[in-house]
């Protein structure tokens, strides 16, 4: 792993808030003042293609990035703009509630849920 990739990866591990490339760029500058936004994009592409980072897309908004490699989905809070990790409940297989074609083997799963958090009044 190159030094720059390590910095980008560390930034993603430090704050698990699914930052955009622009935010990762700003956070990386604290550690690597000379880094450019283009370099950040290159590092992110490499990390995503090596499957150590996941790219999370929300409509037409800039992509977010996630370093949580355990199986999980994402909840997009429309009001705060936050993207939260959602774990699958133990002993529940996603295949149990999907009408998959016969013989289908799930290799990769992207679960994106949009909504908002009801606050107690």
* 45/5 Cα distance (integer angstroms): 10
Tell me: does residue 66 bind Zn ion (CB under 5 A). Answer: yes
Query: Which residues have a Cβ under 8 Å from the Cβ of 48 and sit 6 or more positions away?
Result: 54, 55, 65
Tell me: does residue 68 bind Zn ion (CB under 5 A). Answer: yes
Tell me: does residue 26 bind Zn ion (CB under 5 A). Answer: no
Residue 58: φ, ψ to 5°: -125, 105
* 102/115 Cα distance (integer angstroms): 31
State the minimum distance, in angstroms, from the CB of residue 41 to Zn ion.
19
C-beta of 5 vs 64, nearer to Zn ion: 64
Part of the chain binding Zn ion (CB under 5 A), chosen from 24-32, 37-45, 64-72, 93-101: 64-72
Tell me: does residue 47 bind Zn ion (CB under 5 A). Answer: no
Which of 48, 63, 73, 85: binder of Zn ion (CB under 5 A)? Answer: 85
The three-class DSSP label of residue 102 is coil
Tell me: does residue 63 bind Zn ion (CB under 5 A). Answer: no
The three-class DSSP label of residue 6 is helix
What residues make contact with Zn ion under the rule CB under 5 A?
A: 66, 68, 85
């Amino acid at each position: 792993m190159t030094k720059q990739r390590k910095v980008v990866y560390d930034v993603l591990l430090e704050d698990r808030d699914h930052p955009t490339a622009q935010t990762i760029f700003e956070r990386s500058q604290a550690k690597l003042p000379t880094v450019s936004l283009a370099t950040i994009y290159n590092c992110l592409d490499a990390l995503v293609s090596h499957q150590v980072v996941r790219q999370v897309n929300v409509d037409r908004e800039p992509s977010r990035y996630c370093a949580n490699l355990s199986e999980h989905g994402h909840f997009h809070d429309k009001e705060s703009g936050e993207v939260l990790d959602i774990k699958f409940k133990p002993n529940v297989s996603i295949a149990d509630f999907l009408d998959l074609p016969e013989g289908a083997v799930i290799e990769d799963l992207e679960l994106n849920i949009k909504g908002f958090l009801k606050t107690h009044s």
